[in-house]
Structure 1
Amino acid sequence: MKNYFWNMLINIKNGQMAKKSVIIGPRKNICESFLKILWNEGFISGYKISPQNTRNLEIFLAYTKNGKPVINSLKFLSKPSQRIYYSSKQIWKIDSSKTFIIFSTNLGLKSITECKKNKIGGEPLIVIN
């Protein structure tokens, strides 16, 4: 299930290192919900269904005015081989102004601010700087 998700993250990371403007990713529910969070937070310029193949998404990467990628680093916290879970109390101890964390919760993928607002815990998937 999450292989599509992990591959898409690596494609975004590699695409920004190669200064690409558009990359192709799989059209899965978990990928679309992740891209929606990235788009709402300004880490990507947008995404749409590919006109050539409706099973793929075109992801438009964002760059600063200097040409540097908006996403400086993607770090995987919880891996398939070693899962980590945070309770809502543990999430409140994390400083969300320095790092942006995306959690997998029982309500779907949520950002750290949404988890704090809804008082829910979950599995931290990635940290974006």
Structure 2
Amino acid sequence: MVTDTISDMLTRIRNANLLKHQIVQIPTTKMSLAIASILKEEGFIEDIKKYEENPNRYFIILLKYKGKSREPVIQKIKRVSKPGLRVYSGINNLPQVLGNLGIAIISTSKGVMSNFTAKELGIGGEILCYIW
């Protein structure tokens, strides 16, 4: 049993990217689905497909590559807030990832969102990860 589902999800995506796999299978949780939908909105992955094998529920992420050399769109994923050390940010000091070329995924009181959406809404929260 995995205790940190977000780290597990990010590690699965990172490993699949290194091996240039087309798909990644991830156990379904509300948080991992929310993170995957943000990655799809921001253009880091192609699609998300849900499926169920009793009693387990999974979803599949279709990874995105560019060019004939299949260069991964996701260059790096970094987990920021961990179960042992939570990292929070207010509206005044929301992170900018690579000069706004990447995104930070933030868990707020209004749900999980990117740093751009949180800035528009004027709210801060727990910084889950950086992706570029």
TM-score, normalised on structure 1?
0.89
Partner of 1:22: 23
Partner AA of 1:8 in structure 2: M
User: Which one is further off, 51-60 or 78-87?
Assistant: 51-60
User: Which one is further off, 110-119 or 61-70?
Assistant: 61-70
Return the alpha-carbon distance in structure 2 between the equivalents of residues 84 and 51 of structure 1.
33
Q: Percent identity?
A: 30
Aligned residues: 128
Call closer, same or farther: CA 1:98–1:2 in 2, change over 3 Å: farther
Structure 1 runs of 4+ off > 3 angstroms?
51-54, 93-96
Partner of 2:124: 121
Per-residue deviation, residues 85-124 of structure 1 (Å, max 9, x unmatched): 1111112x74652331110111111101100000000011
Do residues 77 (structure 1) and 76 (structure 2) align?
A: no
Gaps of 5+ in 1: none
Gaps of 5+ in 2: none
Query: Of the candidates 33, 54, 57, which is equivalent to residue 55 of structure 1?
Result: 57
Return the alpha-carbon distance in structure 1 between the equivalents of residues 109 and 4 of structure 2.
19
CA drift at 1:52: 4.9
Return the alpha-carbon distance in structure 2 between the equivalents of residues 51 and 124 of structure 1.
30
Partner of 1:106: 109
TM-score, normalised on structure 2?
0.87
